[in-house]
Amino acid sequence: MESTRDSPVPPTPALTARPVVGPPPRRRLRQILEAYALLTPSLVGFVLFLVAPIIGVVVISFFDWNLMGSPRFVGLANYREMMGDSEVWRSVRNTLYYVALNIPAQTVLALLLALAMNRRLRGGKVIRVLFVLPWMAMPVALGIIWNWAFDPEHGAVNQFLSLLGISGPEWLSSTTWAMPVLASINVWQYTGYTMLFLLAGLQAIPESLYEAADIDGVTGFQRFFRITLPLLRPSMLFVLVTNVIGSFQMFDTVYVMTQGGPNGSTDTLNFHIYQQAFQLFRTGYASAIAMLLFALILLVTAAQFLYFRKRTVYDFS
């Protein structure tokens, strides 16, 4: 992916003077060998522990298997059933809803947080640790704590709301609120973590650019939208792609807090896969649904890469 620019910074001579001709052939061969040498360890892991199991999943999706007996070949039957399974499509909608609730909120909050933390602050180090703590805590304990917190009568959330005179809803028993609750918990858990990346990205923007902008009399707003945001895009791309991929695969919170209810409103694709594979003894069908989830994530991620490809600056010199 070539680097294009759309920033107001004048290009340096070194870059624009570079010829378009590639390196000499012998040099090219050497580069290829070096590349593969560097890649070998991760390739080993990639092929053995990532690609091979995925091929396994694809193969299993053409079988009917309950893990205990022998697999039985069924061809495309699983896929055909999946297309007509209203519960699967409900899961798709639920998952998309969850991602839509989760990612924008998380990203915006993390960005604001990173901007706020990108300065000399008294106690900044401590505050940073505190924000990252939610991501570091063990999920099993958090499940217990959050179920307590959202108890409609004795939980912290509704008790706090009643102090403000608001009678809180039934949260996890309400079809309206269950998914937003799960999304908020995820936002709570990952905002600090996302902030770290964006903060690192902000720190990578050279001070000289801002100084030049100051000299030109650029306003704070312009500075943010014309310099900061564009130059933050490599970090943004990373954060969005990885968070979206993770968001589509959310499982723990559903498992501990709602088991897909109430009334199927929090039945996400990954939870559905788990149920089919491990509670209903249908590993083959679960594998087919996993392929659907994969296709969905692939689509969304490809769209993100396309959007960012045209707009991203990589080289800040």
Partner 1 sequence: MSARSRRVLATAATGALLVGFTAACSSSGSDSAGGKVTLRYGIWDAVQQPALQKSIDAFEEAHPNITVKIELNAWAQYWSKLQTQMAGRSAPDVFWDHVGYFPQFAKQGVLTDLSPYIKADKVDLSVYDPKLTAGWKQGDKQYGLPKDWDTIEQVYNKTMLKTAGLTEADLSGLTWNPDDGGTFVKALQKLTLDENGKHPDETGFDSKNVKQYGLALASPNGQTDWWDFATQNGCKLQDKAWGKWTIDQPSCVQAIQFIQDLRLKYHVAVPAAVTNTPNGAALPAVLARKQTAVVWDGSWDLSAYQTSLKGNFGVALLPSGPAGQGTVYNGLSNALYAGSKHPKEAWELVKWLGSEQSEKIITAAGTVWPSIPTLNKDFVAAWKKQGVDVSAFAKGAEGTTIGYPLTTTSSTYNVKVLDPFNQVWLGKQTPQKAADTVNSASNAAVN
Partner 2 sequence: MRTHRTITTAFGRTGLYVVLIAGALLSIGPYLMTLNAAFKRPQDLLSTNAWTPAHPATFGNFADVWNQYGMSSFLAHTLFVTVVVTLGQVVFSAMGAYAFARLEFPGRDLLFWGYIATMMVPQMITLVPLFLMMRQLGLVDTFAGLILPTVFGTPYGIFLVRQHFRTIPKDLEAAARIDGAGTWTILVKIMLPLSKPILATLATITFINTWNNLIWPLIITNSDRTKVITVGISALQGQHVSDLPHIVLAGAALALLPLIAVFLMFQRHIVRSIALTGLK
| Contact partner, 66, from partner 1, partner 2, none, Cβ < 5-8 Å per class | partner 1
> In terms of Cα–Cα distance, which of 280, 262, 261, 260 is closest to 270?
260
Q: At its nearest, how many Å lie between partner 1 and the CB of residue 276?
A: 9
Which residue, 76 or 200, has its beta carbon nearer to partner 2?
Answer: 200
What are the Cα distances from residue 194, in Å, to 141, 191, 275?
Answer: 22, 5, 30
Both tokens assigned to 73:
């070949």
| Contact partner, 69, from partner 1, partner 2, none, Cβ < 5-8 Å per class | partner 1
| Contact partner, 97, from partner 2, partner 1, none, Cβ < 5-8 Å per class | none
DSSP 79-90: HHHHHT-HHHHH
* Cross-strand partners of 201: none
- Asked if 76 is part of the footprint of partner 2 (rule: CB under 8 A), the reply reads no
- Asked if 270 is part of the footprint of partner 2 (rule: CB under 8 A), the reply reads yes
Give dist(CA 147, CA 251) in Å, integer: 16
Q: Give the binding site for partner 1 (CB under 8 A).
A: 37, 40-41, 66-69, 147-148, 150-154, 170-173, 255-264, 274-275, 277-281
| Contact partner, 46, from partner 1, partner 2, none, Cβ < 5-8 Å per class | partner 2
Q: At its nearest, how many Å lie between partner 2 and the CB of residue 220?
A: 4
List the interface residues with partner 2, window 152-191 (CB under 8 A): 154-156, 159, 188
List the interface residues with partner 2, window 230-269 (CB under 8 A): 234-235, 237-238, 241-242, 245, 248-249, 251
Q: CB of 236 within 8 A of CB of 198?
A: yes
Q: CB of 127 within 8 A of CB of 117?
A: yes
Q: CB of 157 within 8 A of CB of 181?
A: no
